[in-house]
């Protein structure tokens, strides 16, 4: 069973629009971490954020913000005033304590295209 | 410069010819991991290592081997590659295992190795 679901395969927006990328996760563990990674067209993977299950406080970093809601098992990522440079594939990932200690589960990714 | 390096970056080979993709990190990280990325499937973990001589299977370990004899190196070995192992491979490392509470425990990825098995 898929542990991380990114239902949006592709999203296209026009520059300056706000966009939210959805991530729904599945675990019965109470201790877990959630991650977001960015993969620009150049192919490298860039770490964006890590959030633990005990910290539901939303986080903002510049134009990026993350909304963590345990009640809906979601960890959504919003880009405000999107820019062309935000075009990338974005991955959500999960690790939980009940899994073997190093196993990280990725979603299938959301391709975001920002048009000028 | 702190980094994870992989070699080769690109490789075309034939079925059955053993190959090794090297991964090295210069950050004294304990945790290292290998992933493969396939269209529509995202990244899937192949193997990971919590420290020297400690390795464990990820989601898709079949057809792969790893070793961790030194802290800095974590090679991925394909003993008898097959076309279904054609993929983009990433190595990654972090200071500690991914459940460690340290806020500095970011996972760094290598640049990727694009492997084609004919």
- The closest CB to that of A95, out of B90, B98, B106, belongs to B98
Contacts of B63 (CB under 8 A, 6+ apart): B78, B79, B80, B81, B82, B85
Find the residue in A nearest to B112 (Cα): A44
Please tell me the predicted confidence (pLDDT) of residue A1.
Answer: 56
- Cα separations (Å) of B95 from A87, B30, B73, B103, B110? 29, 5, 14, 11, 15
List the 43-82 stretch of A: residues with Cβ below 8 A of B.
Answer: 43-47, 50, 52
Q: Which chain A positions have a beta carbon within 8 Å of B44's beta carbon?
A: 106
Closest to A65 in 3D by CA, of A85, A52, A53, A48: A48
Average pLDDT, stretch B109-113? 95
| pLDDT band at A15; cut points 50, 70, 90 | very high
pLDDT tops 70 at residue B103: no
B interface residues, A as partner, C-beta within 8 Å: 31, 33, 35, 40-45, 48-50, 56-59, 88, 90, 92, 97-99, 101, 103, 105-109, 111-112
φ, ψ dihedrals at B44, nearest 5°: -125, 140
Which residues in chain B have Cβ-Cβ distances shorter than 8 Å to A106? 35, 42-45
pLDDT of residue B107: 83
Residues of A in contact with B59 (CB under 8 A): 103, 105
Q: What's the token pair of residue B43?
A: 């990244």
Average per-residue pLDDT for chain B = 91
Average pLDDT over residues A38-57: 89
Closest CA to A45 of A77, A84, A90: A90
Q: What are A60's two structure tokens?
A: 């903002």
Q: Do A102 and B98 touch (CB under 8 A)?
A: yes
Q: Which of B10, B23, B27, B42 should we substitute to test contact with A (largest number of A Cβ atoms within 10 Å)?
A: B42
**Over 70: is that where the pLDDT of A43 sits?**
yes
Q: Which residue has the higher pLDDT, A116 or B105?
A: A116
Mean pLDDT of B89-111: 79
| β partners of residue B32 | B49, B93
Distances (CA, A) of A109 to A2, A31, B113: 13, 23, 19
pLDDT of residue B62: 96
- The confidence score (pLDDT) of residue A2 equals 58
* Whether B33 and A100 lie within 8 Å, measured CB to CB: no
User: For residue A100, is pLDDT > 60?
Assistant: no
Give residue B101's pLDDT. Answer: 59
Cross-chain CB nearest to A106 (options B43, B49, B105): B43
pLDDT for B11-66, tens place per residue?
Answer: 999 999 999 999 999 999 999 999 999 988 889 999 999 889 999 998 899 999 99
């Amino acid at each position: 069973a898929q542990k991380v679901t990114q239902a949006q395969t592709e999203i296209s927006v026009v520059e300056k629009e706000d966009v939210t990328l959805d991530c729904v996760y599945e675990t019965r563990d109470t201790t877990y971490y959630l991650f977001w990674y960015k993969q620009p067209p150049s192919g490298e993977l860039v770490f964006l954020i890590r959030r633990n299950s005990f910290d539901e406080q939303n986080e903002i970093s510049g134009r990026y913000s993350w909304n963590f809601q345990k009640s809906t098992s979601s960890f959504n990522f919003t880009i405000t005033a999107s820019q062309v440079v935000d075009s990338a594939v974005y991955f959500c990932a999960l690790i939980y304590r009940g899994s073997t200690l190093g196993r990280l589960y990725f979603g299938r990714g959301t391709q975001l295209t920002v048009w000028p | 410069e702190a980094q994870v390096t992989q070699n080769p970056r690109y490789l075309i080979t034939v079925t059955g010819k053993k190959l090794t993709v090297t991964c090295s990190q210069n950050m004294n990280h304990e945790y290292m991991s290998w992933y493969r990325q396939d269209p529509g499937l995202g990244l899937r973990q192949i193997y990971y290592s919590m420290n020297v001589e400690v390795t464990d299977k990820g989601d898709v370990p079949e057809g792969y081997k790893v070793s961790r004899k030194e802290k800095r190196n974590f090679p991925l070995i394909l003993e008898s590659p097959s076309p279904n192992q054609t993929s983009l491979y990433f190595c990654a490392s972090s200071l500690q295992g991914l459940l460690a509470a340290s806020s500095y425990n970011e996972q760094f990825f290598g640049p990727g190795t694009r492997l084609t098995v004919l």
